[in-house]
Amino acid sequence: MTERESPPITNRRTFLKAAAALAAALPLLKAKEVKGSTSSGEGGVRYSILYDSAACIGCNACHVACKTRRGFPIRGMVERELSPVNWVFVSRAPSGGQLQTPPFVRHSCMHCGDAMCQLVCPVEAIRKWNGLVYIDQSRCIGCAYCVEACPYGVPRKNEGPSWGDWAPHGVSRKCDGCYAFVQEGKIPACVEVCPADALRFGTRDEMVAEAQRRVSENPNLWIYGLNEFGGLGVIYIFPKGFDPVREGVFPEPSEGYRPSVSRGPIALGLAAVGGLALMGAVKAKARGEGGE
C-alpha cells in the first residue's frame, strides 16, 4: 500500500464494523451538517497550518520535532509511514506529474473541516478545538472506525505496547495539531522547528492569506486545501504542474460528506448499509418506537 491510499477494508468483520459506525454516525451527521461544514468545534477560531512544498527542503526536522515533543522513538531513518508514534513526515511524491522532480509532500492529519473520522466515531472521542481535530484518548474505545473512514489514511490504532502518555495501547492516534501546547501559548513543534519557513501556524484566514501572498509573488505556485473535505486545516502550496490528486497522493475531493465519492465501492456499501439503518430508524420512529 502506498502512503496515499486509504487504509484497506481488510475483511468482512471490519467492513461490517465500519458500516455500523457509519450507520451510527448518520443521525449525528445530520445535526453536524446543519451547523456548517467548517466548524471550529470548541473555541471559535479555526487554526491551521500552512505547508509550502516549494519552500520545503525535505529535512524532516518537523518529523523529529513532533516525535521529540511527545517522547516517541526516533529511529535512524525517517519513518515514511504514519503510525501511532509517527504523526508527520515529509517525502517526495512518487511521481511529479509535469515536473521532472517530484515535489516534497507533508503527510499528516489535515484537520478537515468535514472530519470524517469525527463523524464516524461512535463515542465522540474525536473532537475539535479551534479547528484542530484531536482524539480524546480517554474516550477512545479502539474500534478503529476512524482509521477506516479517514480519506487521507491518517489515524492508526496502537496495537502494540503503550508508548508514554501520548500513545497508550489500544487507542487510535494521530496528529492533534499540538492543541494542548497551543492552549499554553506555544505553536506546533513541527512549525516551530522548520528551518525553511515552509511551515506556518495561525488562524485559517491568516494561513490562506499567507498562501495567497506567496502564490501572488510566484505564479508557478498554486494552493491546495481551500475547499477539500470542508476546507482543510492544512493549507498546501504546490508547484504548478503537480496535482496531488491526479498523482494519487491525495484522495479525490468531495463536496461535504459524500463517502461514495472519496471511498469508492466500499463507501457505497457503507452508505447503503447506513441508509438501511436510517430507514429502519425512521420506520421505527413512525411506529412510535425508541422515542427521541
List residues binding ligand SF4 (CB under 6 A): 56-62, 66, 69, 87-88, 90, 108-112, 115-117, 133, 150, 152, 154-155, 174-178, 188-190, 193-194, 196, 198-199
Q: How far is the CB of 229 from ligand SF4 (least distance, A)?
A: 6
Nearer to ligand SF4 by Cβ, of 159 and 280: the residue is: 159
Q: How far is the CB of 104 from ligand SF4 (least distance, A)?
A: 6
Give every CB contact of residue 11 below 8 A, 6+ residues apart in sequence.
none
Nearer to ligand SF4 by Cβ, of 56 and 171: the residue is: 56
Q: How far is the CB of 31 from ligand SF4 (least distance, A)?
A: 18
Query: Whole-angstrom Cα distance, residue 4 to residue 153?
Result: 7
Q: How far is the CB of 290 from ligand SF4 (least distance, A)?
A: 30
Q: How far is the CB of 279 from ligand SF4 (least distance, A)?
A: 26
The single-letter code of the amino acid at 134 is Y
C-alpha cell at 2: 502506498
Q: How far is the CB of 212 from ligand SF4 (least distance, A)?
A: 19
Going through the chain in order, the beta strands assigned E by DSSP cover 47-52, 89-92, 104-107, 126-129, 132-135, 156-157, 172-173, 199-203, 221-224, 234-239
Nearer to ligand SF4 by Cβ, of 259 and 269: the residue is: 259
CB atoms within 10 A of CB 60: 20
Nearer to ligand SF4 by Cβ, of 116 and 143: the residue is: 116
Nearer to ligand SF4 by Cβ, of 115 and 235: the residue is: 115
Query: Whole-angstrom Cα distance, residue 112 to residue 118?
Result: 10
**Burial profile 238-251: b = 16 or more Cβ within 10 angstroms, e = fewer:** bbeebebeebebbb
C-alpha cell at 289: 418506537
Query: Whole-angstrom Cα distance, residue 64 to residue 67?
Result: 5
Q: How far is the CB of 265 from ligand SF4 (least distance, A)?
A: 19
Nearer to ligand SF4 by Cβ, of 71 and 284: the residue is: 71
Query: CA of 261: how far to CAs of 52, 135, 140, 255, 264, in Å?
Result: 27, 25, 27, 9, 6
Nearer to ligand SF4 by Cβ, of 215 and 234: the residue is: 234
Nearer to ligand SF4 by Cβ, of 20 and 62: the residue is: 62
C-alpha cell at 71: 517522547
Q: How far is the CB of 92 from ligand SF4 (least distance, A)?
A: 11
Query: Whole-angstrom Cα distance, residue 265 to residue 286?
Result: 31
